Each structure stands twice: as C-alpha cells, then as structure tokens.
A and B are shown apart, each in its own frame.
Chain A
Amino acid sequence: MSRNSWVFVIILVILVFSLWVLIPIDSTRLGRTGIQYGLDLKGGVRLLYKADLSSVEKGQEKSTLNDVIAIVANRVNPLGVTEPNIEIWGTDQIVVELPMPPGGISDVQMERIGRTALLEFREFVQTFDDQGNVTEEKWIPATGTYNGETKILNSSLFKNNTEVRIDSVGNIYLYFEWNEEGAVLFKEITTRLLQKPIGIFEGSGEDALPLLGDDGKPIAPIVQAILSDNGDITGLSRNEATELSKQLNAGRIPVPLELVGEQIRNPSLGSDFIELSVRAGMIGIAAVMIFLIVYYRVPGVIAAFSLAFYGTLTLAIFKLIPVTMTLAGIGGFVLSMGMAIDANVLIFERMKEELLIKTTVSSAMESGFARAWSAIWDSNVTTIIACVVLYWVGDVTPFGGAVKGFALTLGIGVIVSMFTAVLASHTMLKMVVRTDLSKQPELFKPYTGRKLA
C-alpha cells in the first residue's frame, strides 16, 4: 500500500473510533458518559463564597479553605447530586457548582450549604424588676476564659467526631468531644450552669436562631454534670440526634463565609435548547456541505467529507476530555467550524488559480496546498494565541466559565480543523487525483455558471 492509502486507513480508523465514542450521545465510552452541558444549558446551581480569612494565621489560608471545602462537600452530598464541583477560587473564595438535583433544591437547602453555621452555645438569662417580676428573658452566648481572653463556646471547638450513640438500654444520645480550648471553656461553663439549660443556636450575634427539635421547641439540654473534654446530649429523638450530629460535624466551618455570587438555573430552560442547537448544527453543516459540493465539485465532495470528519472528531474529543458545553462553547465550536470551512476554501481557491497555469490537476493541487498553508497556519496560530489568553482570563474570573468554555472549544476545534482540513482533505484529494477523474480538470474548478467542458 502507498503512503496515501495508509494515511487514509488511519483517517478511517479515527473516524470509526470517533463515531463509536460519540454515538449514541449519552453512551458511556472510556469512562465518559454523554456530553457534559454547562449550567446555562442544563440547569443547576453555582455559588461563590468569599471567606473572611482575617482571623486566620498567615500561611494557613489554603488549608483553612480546604477545610471549608470538606465541610461544604459534607453538606452538599445529602442533596444527592452527581459530581458536585467544589473548589478554591483565587485567594479567598470558594465556588460550588451543582447540577440541579432531581427534586430541585429548596431555598433552605441552598442557604444551608454556605451557612457559616457555627453552632453557638448560649445560656438563658432573666432580668427582674424590683417586684421580682421577669422583665426580660434572653439567651446570651455562654462564655468562658481561655488564655486570659473571654471566648464564646461554639462548634468550631468541637472535634470532628460527633456521633449518635445508643446506650445499653436503648436510649439515644449524642456524643461529642472538645478540643483543648473547648474543654477549658466547657468546664467553666458547665460549672456555672449546672442544672441549667444550655441552648444551641445556629449562627451568631443578633441573627442567631435556636435549633428546634421535632416539637418545634428549642433544643436546650440541662447540664447534668461538670464536664470538660467530652460530653453527651441525651433525651433527643433519633431524628433530632442525627440532624444535630450532622450539623455539628458539618457546622465546623472555621471562618465566616459570605455569598458573593449565585446563579440558579431551572433545568427546564435549557432542555429544548440542546436538541434545537444539535438540529441547527446539523442543518447548518448540511447546507455548507451542499454549497461546497455545488461550488467546488470534486474537491467540494472531499471537503464535505472532511467537514463531517472534523465535526465527529471534535465532538468525540469534547466528550472524552470532557469539555463542558455552554452557550459560549457552542459559539466557539461554530467559529472553529467556520475556520475549518475556510481552510478548505483557501486550498480550493488556490487550486483554482494554479489550475490556470499548471498543466495537471495533480501539480495544481500540490502547489495549491503548499501556498494556502501559510495563511491557514498563521490565522490558526493567532486564534490559538487568543484562546490561550481567553482560557487563562476565564479561569481567574469568578463567573468566567463562558469565556473559558469558548476558548476551549475554539482552541480544540482549530487544532482539529488543521488536522482534518489539511491532512484528511489532502490525502483524499491525492487519491482522487490518481483516478481518471483528474483527466477532467473542470471537475476541480469552482462552478462559474459555464457548462462543463
């Protein structure tokens, strides 16, 4: 077999492989299932939190943020979403991306994800007037002294092993352990509040809300003994105990988080969009192919084939990487398709010029390719430069997914188009030129309205 035939066989193998990867679209191939769609197409939630790291020691910022991520992940997992994406963004931000859970996501669930949710322990104080009547009742933070400073006892001082246990007679209780600071504070507070209630509040300051039990009343266990490094809360229902332990474990976000950006998109918005754009893409490509065939004749047929090859291979790569398709990503794909068409057009126009001065189709084709190459190369390299810049900028922009997606699809598309337009078109043209077709140079010239010779 000649070198050409070998290349052609390789192209066919790649084509078949791409088709296998791609079809059906939602199949699982090489560990990738379906084409990934971005939030703007399939719906979902994107939350951006800014962490207040002012109280964190220098050099510990990163590990603090990683702790936050672990906790946020704990809170997200019960929502039952597949592949949540939670990562550090910039120096002090955390981004959470979730596909929309099957049952939707309520505002309460949403709020819980990023709630700083320190649980604060509080004591109940009453003030009386001269007659001994209660004038004011309120819960104030329970404080103690640690290293000479007055500190509030809160869940950031828990160890990460709070759990629900059942004692020998079947009573449910919640077991927890304090770190060193917590143990000191807890000892002081339980000494002071012996036989008095300790309230458990979510949040801090004025906004704090008491945790409510199944009966709708605040959970406020009575201190039974002086305790220090560990303790348990009894008298809870299983449900209450489980919820509380989850919150205690999940509630240890060490720094305040502020929600600085959010995007929630109902999946119904994009559902027909994907189908519609696939259909539009097909129709668009078909129209382009017809145009190429009618106008460029034999080379047009080859260009149509290499365009189909281009589309299949690019989408297969999108599926395998995987590239998340967004509206902007589709824009990038369309542009790269334009460039793939253009590469073919450049070559054929060059061939047309060369056919005027060269004696054989074969030599005209070769110099057409050689001369079109510099324009294709330069324009594609500039595009790739722009893509690299855009990808980088999109990557550091909090809601820059659109820019990033665009850069990625365009960049991949352009690289693939250089391969398909140049290698695939060239190889196939060389093969066609060897056939008897090349005895009719007219078949290789664009349609001019004149009859074929």
Chain B
Amino acid sequence: MINIVGNRLWFFIVSGLLVVVGIISLAAFGLKTGIDFSAGSLLTVKFDQPITAADVEKELPGFGFNGTVEIDAQGDIVIRTVELSTQQKSTLEQDLTAKFGNLTELEFISLDPTVARKTAQSAGIATAVASVGILLYIAFAFRKASKPFHFGVCAVAALFIDVIVVLGVFSILGKLVNWEIDLVLVTGILTVIGYAVNDTIVVFDRIRENQKKYPGIDFGQVVNNSLMEVMTRELATGVGVLFVLVALLLFVGPTIKNLVVVLMVGIYFGTFTSIFVASPLLVVWEKHDWGSLSSKKQTQGKVVQARG
C-alpha cells in the first residue's frame, strides 16, 4: 500500500517544478510555430542530387528570396520564406533547378497572415471551450458527490498542468531540434487532454463511489484507497496504449514521430497527474492541508483497506 495522499506535498513539488520549468522554457524560447500559425510559405522539395540545406540557404538571396532552409526527417529540403505567389514559387523552383539539378515539388503551403491568425485563434478557442465544457460536465456528473465543483476544478487544474508540461517539452524540443507546433500537434495535445480527463474521471469515479460506501472514513484515506484500487487499471490501460503507440512509431516512422512523442509524453504524464495531483488536490481542498514532506507525521498506519 503506497501512501500517495500522505506524500502529496512531494508530488505537488515535483509537478510544480515541472510546470515552472515548462513556463520558464515557454517564456525563454517560446513556441516555434509551424506554418499553420504563422504566415508565409513552406516549400518542400526533393533533389535528384544530394544537396544540403546550407547549399540551398546560401543561394536563396542570389535568387532574390529571403528564407531559412532545413532538412526534414525524410531528408527532403524544406524552404521557408515569406508568402510567395504561385508565380514566385515557379521562379524559385526554376532557379533551384538551374543551380542544383532536377527537383520534385513534394509540398507547398502558403498562408496569408489573416488565415494564420484565425487558425491560431481557433486552436486557442478550442482548447478553452473544451476545457470549460469538460469542467461543467464533471461538475454535473459528480453532482451527487459532496462538493461536485471541487471535482471539476481539480480535474481541470490537472489538465492545465498537463498542457503546460507538454507545451514546455515542445518549446525545449523546438529549441533543441527545431520541432514546430502545428495543427496536427494541437490535436495531439487535445488527445492528451481527452486521455487525461478519462483517467481523472476513472479515479474520481472510484472516489465518488467509496465516499458513498464509507461515509465515516477520513476523506484522505478514501482517496488513497480509491487510488490503490484503480492502479492496476491505470497500468493495464497504459500498457495497451503503449503497444499501439510503439507500433506507430516503429512501423510508420518519421511522418508521425512528432505526434507519437507528444502522445507518449502527454498520455503518461496525464496519468501521473490524475493519480498524483488531481486526487490529492481534492484532499487539500477538503482539509485545507497541503500535507508535509515527512511521511512519518502522516496517519498511514491507520489506513484501512476498504473493501466490501
């Protein structure tokens, strides 16, 4: 029997630190936004000859274009510039062909600032509205539990931590390996939110049930017992999802790599916050006690295995 509730301060400190690191990283590095959220053009080409990104970047000003050039996971050349018209793109491709030999245009994306702004706005709105909707539903679903609103707020607080940490990971990866955040990754983050909510609800559901079943028992103990009871489920589901994600990573490869990494970080961190943050937070709110770092002061000796 692990005393999760008794040691809650430790878990709060760990998640608090991660959130602080996430916020610092977001403040310092920001998020590298992909083409979806920032206007401009992105041209992905494949040359018949092996050409490096630096070769292309060096030549761009000579062609009359300003931009950055990178090599993507598949080894193709990705040129990012200000918004290009179809004609300008054709010119650029002709210049590139003249200099580096035959090329195949793999992808061209071009977005006007108004469209990019609208997309970024929508992503923000989606996250906000979905969070509020989830909060309201949880409050509704737990209306028969004592203090239903606590459940909703604690679930959303845990979500907030998940999102900050995932975004923080992104901003660090953006700094280190040029990962950009685009719409697909926003859906990845939404998946994480969905999954974390799912986890939190399973835990809260058990708390709600045990609260009803053992009205006399200390709330901290009810929560801790509930966590113990759902732990194997968390592990079993976690293993199941891991199989699918690893299969996608191993057999699909680079195209989906970023998405899978977001899902892995987010899903498992989401499970962590559901168990070690959201539920202990309920106890904090109930008892107005953040717990202590020394587990000896806790009453875990008296914890009763609740069954029946």
Contact = CB atoms under 8 A, between A and B. Distances in A.
B175 interface: no
Given A277-B252, A284-B248, A385-B133, A266 B126 contact: no
Interface residues of B, number: 73
Contacts of A269: 106-107
A446 B237 CA distance: 13
A382 B198 contact: yes
A396 B255 CA distance: 26
Interface string B234-259: 00110111011111101111011001
A281 interface: yes
B165 interface: no
A329 to B, nearest CB: 9
Contacts of A291: 239-240, 243
Majority DSSP secondary structure for residues of B touching A: helix
Contact of B240 (A327, A345, A400): A345
B25 to A, nearest CB: 24
Contact of B183 (A295, A330, A381, A403): A403
Interface stretch (B51-59, B117-125, B216-224, B296-304): B117-125
B307 interface: yes
Contacts of A111: 86-87
B237 A345 contact: yes
B111 A403 contact: no
Contacts of B239: 291
B173 interface: no
Interface stretch (A53-61, A177-185, A371-379): A371-379
A402 B183 CA distance: 7
B119 A400 contact: yes
Contact of B259 (A261, A285, A331): A331
Contacts of A107: 86-87, 89-90
A332 B125 contact: no
A356 interface: yes
B192 to A, nearest CB: 9
A171 interface: no
A268 B106 contact: yes
Given A332-B187, A379-B202, A327 B255 contact: yes
A169 interface: no
A195 interface: no
A260 B134 CA distance: 34
Interface string B17-58: 000000000000000000010000000000000000000000
A110 B88 CA distance: 13
A280 B252 contact: yes
Nearest to A109: B86
Interface in A323-337: 327-328, 330-332, 334-335, 337
Given A261-B112, A284-B244, A287-B243, A276 B251 contact: yes
B286 interface: no
Nearest to A337: B244
Given A266-B105, A266-B106, A291-B243, A260 B184 contact: no
A346 interface: yes
Contacts of A381: 137, 141
A375 B184 contact: no
Interface string B131-152: 0011001100100000000000
A423 interface: no
B183 A398 contact: no
Interface residue range, chain A: 35 or more
A342 B251 contact: no
Contact of A402 (B187, B194, B246, B252): B187
A386 B194 contact: yes
B130 interface: yes
Nearest to B111: A261
A371 B237 CA distance: 18
B277 to A, nearest CB: 18
Contact of B202 (A260, A346, A357, A383): A346
Contact of A283 (B188, B251, B308): B251
A66 B114 CA distance: 23
Nearest to A375: B205
A431 interface: no
B294 interface: no
A265 interface: yes
B186 interface: yes
Among A263, A283, A357, A378, the most chain B Cβ lie within 10 Å of the Cβ of A378
A334 B122 CA distance: 24
Contacts of B36: 399
A334 B193 CA distance: 14
A338 B108 contact: no
B307 A356 contact: yes
Nearest to A397: B122
B290 interface: no
Interface string A47-67: 010100000000000000000
B13 interface: no
Interface of A: 48, 50, 107, 110-111, 258-266, 268-269, 273, 276-277, 279-281, 283-285, 287-288, 291-292, 295, 327-328, 330-332, 334-335, 337-339, 341-342, 345-346, 349, 352-353, 356-357, 371, 374-375, 378-379, 381-383, 385-386, 389-390, 393-394, 396-400, 402-403, 406, 410, 446
A-B pairs, top 5 by smallest CB distance, nearest first, are A284-B247, A260-B112, A280-B251, A284-B244, A287-B243
Interface of B: 36, 85-87, 89-90, 104-112, 114-115, 118-119, 122-123, 125-126, 129-130, 133-134, 137-138, 141, 183-184, 186-188, 190-191, 193-195, 197-198, 201-202, 205-206, 209, 229-230, 232-233, 236-237, 239-241, 243-248, 250-253, 255-256, 259, 263, 267, 307-308
Given A264-B107, A264-B109, 14 more contacts: A50-B114, A107-B87, A259-B85, A262-B108, A266-B105, A280-B248, A283-B247, A287-B247, A339-B198, A389-B126, A390-B126, A390-B130, A393-B126, A394-B122
